[in-house]
Amino acid sequence: MAILPLSIWSQLCAQANPAFEPIEDHPDLPRVLLIGDSISVGYTLPTRELLRGKANVHRALENCGPTTRGLERIEAWLGDGRWDVIHFNFGLHDMSMDEEGVRRVPIEQYEENLETLTARLEQTGAELIWCATTPVPADVKGATRTPGDVVRYNTVAAAIMHAHGMAIDDLYAFALPQLGSIQQPADVHFTPEGSAVLARQVVASIDAALAPTT
């Protein structure tokens, strides 16, 4: 059996996931953009459903991965339209390690990249919401990340967002006490029901950002 190259496999997976399907805007509603990795992919559809009739909820049409991909792809994700709210996250991919323990994006570079991305997003004039990276379980498969990694990267990110006076959706603190019921065993990902739980917190943060404009 032929093995598909990873790039083609990723494209096929994206095409099969309804979260990546473009949506048609209702002209009277504000426009919201979700940027993030597979965790955000999981809560895209329930977030969209909860905000039905209140906002046009778009997302970057791919797994946004680490900050390095963000620097490469941010213009494509933003497109030419106007955004009222942008809810964004980077972290899980940045902190991942290879078999030799080398970080994909060392924390110092993560800080620099995230500062650059935040400054670019501010130029859109949108209300910005930083989403804290969700917890990693202690028994995560592959041991490419640790619970402490998330705390360290989240701390760096929070300092940047506080310096910019930006709203923070603390999805880490929200998810942590209920991981056993919403996260897949030994995995950073969440069950479908867990993603729906996360979506309620995401929607609360977006509602707060939309309040002045609705």
Q: What is the pLDDT of residue 213?
A: 52
- Our measurement of the distance from residue 213's CA atom to the centroid of its chain's CA atoms, rounded to an integer in Å, reads 23
175: Cβ contacts below 8 Å, ≥ 6 apart: 134, 135, 182, 183, 190, 198
pLDDT in tens, 25-70: 999 999 999 999 999 999 999 999 999 999 999 999 999 999 999 9
CA distance 199 to 174: 11
Mean pLDDT to the nearest integer, 174-200: 96
Residue 133: CB atoms within 10 A of its CB come to 27
What is the pLDDT at residue 98? 86
| Structural domains of the chain, with CATH | 30-213 (3.40.50.1110)
- What are the pLDDT digits (tens) for 102-157? 999 999 999 999 999 999 999 999 999 999 999 999 888 766 899 999 999 999 99
Residue 86's CB is within 10 A of a number of other CB atoms, namely 23
